[in-house]
């Protein structure tokens, strides 16, 4: 048997990191629609079949990539208003990173008509934040989901309309508005 | 010369109405990405070249379709808080119509990386509302753009995450939050 010329398999975490970086870079360069799994695979040199073994669809791949990019919220402190402000600034910083807003809007757009993708988005991307925020803000689930809609929706709409992240002064206005809202909803 | 067998040309407004209806129906059925101009043309029986003569790209077509679907805001009354509430309920009703949220999110997603489409979106879809709202709410342009981001972004995020329009009680919470905000920003 001829010796294999393939390099030894890359460990899983390294493949994930490579694919996620290529996913955001490709979406940033070509837009969500044209960033196909084919092109993402080509950008990494990793086989398309390997990618589909890990993530069954482009929507699942982009969701996993967003989960990885966002990472955990800043640790909660002792002041709910400050925790809320930190969470909003955290969201604004992440959405400003290259490719993130287009990835996020794209996967939402696909999810509107795709119940399976909505399930993936909701359980893998939204649920961890939902749980942490119910705990740290002391709000009901309905209120936390409303806050997430307002923060993420507003930041993404601004990116879509201007191509630029929301300016600092508007992020601060968003924080003040939701801090006032938080006070009003606390038991 | 042989008599033409083609029916007399349909008037422009009728073609527009047919194409817009087919655009929303196709997006509703297939999602934004798979609703190509080819498929929209096939659904109407109108030649693709005719469609491209009127709208140079899918993004331009979808924007024109959204402008037509949304139509003018409810007339302003004498109470700014009520005008704001009416504008938010108007947005929520429109975004709940079949195909509208997916069309809207899709065109935003494409616009993030496409300056030409952002220009079309901003001048054709957003500007008329921006102007009317600056007048009727008595807010600065920066505040009105912020309000538009919050209202439309929140409603679209909810559709993407749940596949359903925002429930009445959350729309009312959005109204109350922004009415409080409006009071705070008035000179």
Q: Which residues in chain A have Cβ-Cβ distances shorter than 8 Å to B84?
A: none
A158 alpha carbon, distance to own chain's centre: 16
pLDDT score of A11: 66
Q: Which residues in chain B have Cβ-Cβ distances shorter than 8 Å to A121?
A: 160-161
Q: Cβ–Cβ of B150/A155 closer than 8 Å?
A: no
Per the CB < 8 A criterion, the answer to whether A147 and A101 are in contact is no
Task: Convert the pLDDT of each residue in B11-55 to its tens digit.
Answer: 667 899 999 999 999 999 999 999 999 999 999 999 999 999 999
Q: Which residues in chain B have Cβ-Cβ distances shorter than 8 Å to A101?
A: 112
pLDDT score of B11: 66
pLDDT score of A3: 43
Question: Taking all residues of chain B, what is their mean pLDDT, rounded to a whole number?
Answer: 91
What's this model's pTM, rounded to 2 decimal places?
Answer: 0.91
Q: Which residues in chain B have Cβ-Cβ distances shorter than 8 Å to A160?
A: 107-109, 111-112, 118, 121
Out of B109, B115, B155, whose CB is closest to A109?
Answer: B109
* pLDDT higher than threshold 70 for residue B4: no
**For residues A122 and A117, what is the distance between their CA atoms, to the nearest angstrom?**
8
- How large is the ipTM? 0.90
> Which stretch of DSSP H or E encloses residue A174?
helix A168-185
Say whether B72 sits in a helix, a strand or coil: coil
Any idea which of A84-88, A150-154, B14-18, B23-27 has the lowest mean pLDDT? B14-18
How many CB atoms are located within 10 Å of the residue A133 CB?
22
A12–chain B nearest CA distance, Å = 29
- How far lies A47's CA from each of A9, A41, A51, in Å? 12, 6, 7
Q: Which residues in chain B have Cβ-Cβ distances shorter than 8 Å to A110?
A: 31-33
Per the CB < 8 A criterion, the answer to whether B145 and A159 are in contact is no
Location of structure tokens 């989960």: A67
Q: Phi/psi at A37 (nearest 5 deg)? A: -60, -35
Position A1 confidence tier, pLDDT thresholds 50, 70, 90: very low
**For residues A30 and A36, what is the distance between their CA atoms, to the nearest angstrom?**
9
* pLDDT higher than threshold 70 for residue A64: yes
Q: Cβ–Cβ of B153/A148 closer than 8 Å?
A: no
B171 alpha carbon, distance to own chain's centre: 18
Those residues with Cβ within 8 angstroms of residue B169's Cβ, 6 or more apart along the chain or in another chain? none
Position B3 confidence tier, pLDDT thresholds 50, 70, 90: very low
B178–chain A nearest CA distance, Å = 8
Q: Which residues in chain B have Cβ-Cβ distances shorter than 8 Å to A146?
A: 154, 170, 173-174
Task: Convert the pLDDT of each residue in B66-108 to its tens digit.
Answer: 999 999 999 888 899 999 999 999 999 999 999 999 999 999 8
Out of B108, B126, B177, whose CB is closest to A177?
Answer: B177
* pLDDT higher than threshold 70 for residue A152: yes
Both tokens assigned to A131? 């749980």
Both tokens assigned to A11? 């460990």
Q: Cβ–Cβ of B33/A109 closer than 8 Å?
A: yes
Q: Cβ–Cβ of B150/A154 closer than 8 Å?
A: yes
Q: Cβ–Cβ of A148/B170 closer than 8 Å?
A: no
A115–chain B nearest CA distance, Å = 7
Q: Chain B residue closest to A106 (CA)?
A: B109
Q: Which residues in chain B have Cβ-Cβ distances shorter than 8 Å to A105?
A: 105, 108-109, 112
**For residues A25 and A40, what is the distance between their CA atoms, to the nearest angstrom?**
9
Both tokens assigned to B37? 């101009």
Q: Phi/psi at B99 (nearest 5 deg)? A: 90, -20
Kindly tell me the burial class for residue B6, based on how many C-beta atoms sit within 10 Å of its own C-beta (0-12, 13-18, 19 or more): exposed
Per the CB < 8 A criterion, the answer to whether A165 and A158 are in contact is yes
**For residues B98 and B102, what is the distance between their CA atoms, to the nearest angstrom?**
9
* pLDDT higher than threshold 70 for residue A94: yes
Both tokens assigned to A24? 């955001």
Out of A28, A126, A155, whose CB is closest to B161?
Answer: A126
A22–chain B nearest CA distance, Å = 17
Please report the domains of chain B, with CATH numbers, ordered by start residue: 59-185 (1.10.357.10)
Q: Chain B residue closest to A182 (CA)?
A: B177
Out of A110, A157, A160, whose CB is closest to B33?
Answer: A110
Average pLDDT over residues A71-98: 94
């Amino acid at each position: 048997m001829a010796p294999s010329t393939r390099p030894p398999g890359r460990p899983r975490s390294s493949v994930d990191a490579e694919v996620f970086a290529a996913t955001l870079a490709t979406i940033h360069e070509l837009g969500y629609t044209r960033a196909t799994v084919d092109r993402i695979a080509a950008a990494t040199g990793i086989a398309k079949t390997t990618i589909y073994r890990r993530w069954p669809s482009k929507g699942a791949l982009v969701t996993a990539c967003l989960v990885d990019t966002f990472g955990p919220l800043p640790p909660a402190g002792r002041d709910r208003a400050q925790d809320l402000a930190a969470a909003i600034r955290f969201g604004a910083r992440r959405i400003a990173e290259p490719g993130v807003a287009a990835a996020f809007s794209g996967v939402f757009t696909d999810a509107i008509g795709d119940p399976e993708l909505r399930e993936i988005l909701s359980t893998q991307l939204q649920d961890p934040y939902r749980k942490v925020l119910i705990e740290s803000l002391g709000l009901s689930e309905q209120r936390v989901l409303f806050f997430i809609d307002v923060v993420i929706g507003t930041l993404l709409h601004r990116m879509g309309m201007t191509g630029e992240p929301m300016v600092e002064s508007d992020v601060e206005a968003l924080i003040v508005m939701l801090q006032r809202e938080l006070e009003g909803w606390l038991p």
